[in-house]
Amino acid sequence: MPIQRTKQHLYSAMDLKEENRILRQRLSELTQKAQDNQETLKRFHARELELLSAESLPELLYGMTDGLKSSFEIKSIQLLLCDPDHEIRHLLSNNGIDEGAFPFLHFVDDMVAVNPRFSRLRSPWLGPYLSPEYDNLFCEDHHLRSIAILPLFCGNRLAGSINLGSDVSTRFTRRHATDFLARLATICGVCLENAVNRERLLISGLTDPLTELHNRRYLDRRLDEELARASRYRQPLSCLFIDADHFKRINDNHGHQVGDQALRELANRIRSQLRASDVATRFGGEEFALLLPQTCLSEALMLAERIRLEVNSNPIPLDDGAELRLSVSIGVSEALPMLGKSHHKELGCHLLANADQALYMAKAKGRNRIEYETSGELGTGDPETTDMSLRPG
């Protein structure tokens, strides 16, 4: 009997020791998991603060793409934004930024057309990467093994998604909790809505309500930016001043309502000849100013002629059934900023003044024509072509 009790005691002691070992291991795992969760929370919190502090739409989009990719050390990321009316793209364009500046951003017209899962997705989805089902969610697969899809909502509207991809199959699984990712998606959705609304308000204060072109205040802001960009990349920047000929007669003979109609049509015809990167503004009254990035003088003169011909092409139909013919005089100038120079303000003033002086000369020579000025010297037409090529027929 004593021997039996000794064996039972020995077995109990061994069981207790093993149980203690398992408990210590479990405690260590829980402690490590708690530490990992704390680090994850810190990382998410830091990223959330950066998104919430973004001062502009471009800064926010960068944070939602490159910023998240770097922060989470993932193989691939793709931000999809539903923009059927091209509003966000127009807001970026108004800031002089092309959508190509964000390689991890893709605009779509319909999220469900991209992937049917979006018709029922209301919270983050984690799981294996399946091809071709999820191919449209990433610009490149990078041999992805697992993905996380974070739907973005602005109010109740699905505004897009942030798609995270990993080449590790266990990085995003259906067993993982999605609390942090859901919170991040909510913050991104709110920040996106606020940034778009903020840009709308900003643009409304920089837009001429009659023509829907930008106003002179916007021109002043963009002029410094474009000169700095031209200096950095050693590219020319040209300017066009456009003035409607004999516009006072239109107001005197037909009234200001017809004059406003003529200005709107003139703005539309000018806009039809421009690239997305060009800056069109109503400088004041019946005068318009254009900034043409990466455009030399000869190219600016060709654009000026296209605009002149477009304005002359067809009469403007009036509401009373009558027709109004309109012509424009155009002055052209060019700036070639030097790298490293900080005289952008002075150079900008010269660029505008030269175009204005060339416009004055065009009107003095009979109107409905184009003049240019460089380095204080006036000229007619394209310096590399005959003068007659840019004179009205």
Q: Does residue 133 form part of some domain?
A: yes
Residues 164, 173: contact at Cβ < 8 Å?
Answer: no
- Read off the pLDDT band of 361 (50, 70, 90): very high
Residue-level pLDDT at 318: 79
Are 241 and 386 part of one and the same domain? yes
Residue finishing a domain among 203, 231, 252: 203
The verdict on 112 and 235 lying in the same domain is no
Task: Report yes or no on 225 lying in a domain.
Answer: yes
- CB–CB of 305/242 below 8 Å? no
| Contact indicator for 82, 108 with CB cutoff of 8 Å | yes
Q: Are 197 and 236 members of one domain? A: no
Active-site entry in 48, 226, 286, 334: 286
pLDDT at 353: 94
Residue 214 DSSP code: B
Cis peptide before 2 (omega within 30 of 0): no
* CATH code for position 328: 3.30.70.270
Looking at the structure, do residues 223 and 369 belong to the same domain, yes or no?
Answer: yes
Give residue 376's pLDDT: 44
Instruction: Write the pLDDT tens digit of every residue in 108-122.
Output: 999 999 999 999 999
DSSP 8-state assignment for residue 338? P
Please identify which residue in the block is written with the tokens 């602005």.
Answer: 154
Structural domain contains residue 44: no
**Domain membership flag for residue 302:** yes
Last residue in a domain, options 203, 227, 262:
203
Backbone dihedral angles phi then psi of residue 304, each to the nearest 5 degrees: -60, -40
Same domain, 190 and 229: no
95 within a domain of the structure (yes/no):
yes
260 lies in the same domain as 386: yes
Same domain assignment for residues 250 and 305: yes
Residue 228: pLDDT band (50, 70, 90) is confident
Q: Are residues 93 and 186 in the same domain?
A: yes
Residue 306 has pLDDT above 90, yes or no: yes
Tens-digit pLDDT profile for residues 151-167:
999 988 999 999 999 99
In a domain, 169, yes or no: yes
Residue 96 and residue 191 in one domain = yes
Structure confidence at residue 35 (pLDDT):
63
pLDDT per position as a tens digit, 47-62: 888 898 888 899 999 9
Catalytic (active site) residue 346:
no
CA distance 170 to 229: 45
State which of 203, 232, 255 marks the end of a domain: 203
User: What confidence tier does 147 reach under pLDDT thresholds 50, 70, 90?
Assistant: very high
Q: Are residues 249 and 346 in the same domain?
A: yes
- Do 194 and 220 share a domain, yes or no? no
Residue 3, domain member (yes or no): no
The DSSP code sequence of 274-333 is: --TT-EEEEEETTEEEEEEET--HHHHHHHHHHHHHHHHHSPEEPTTS-EE---EEEEEE
What is the pLDDT, as a whole number, of residue 370?
A: 97
In a domain, 358, yes or no: yes
pLDDT in tens, 167-219: 999 999 998 888 889 999 999 999 999 999 988 888 888 889 899 899 999 99
Task: Give the total number of structural domains in the chain.
Answer: 2
Q: What domain range is 77 assigned to?
A: 54-203
- The domain that contains 64 carries what CATH number? 3.30.450.40
What value does the mean pLDDT take over residues 324-344?
83
Domain check: are 245 and 329 in the same one?
A: yes
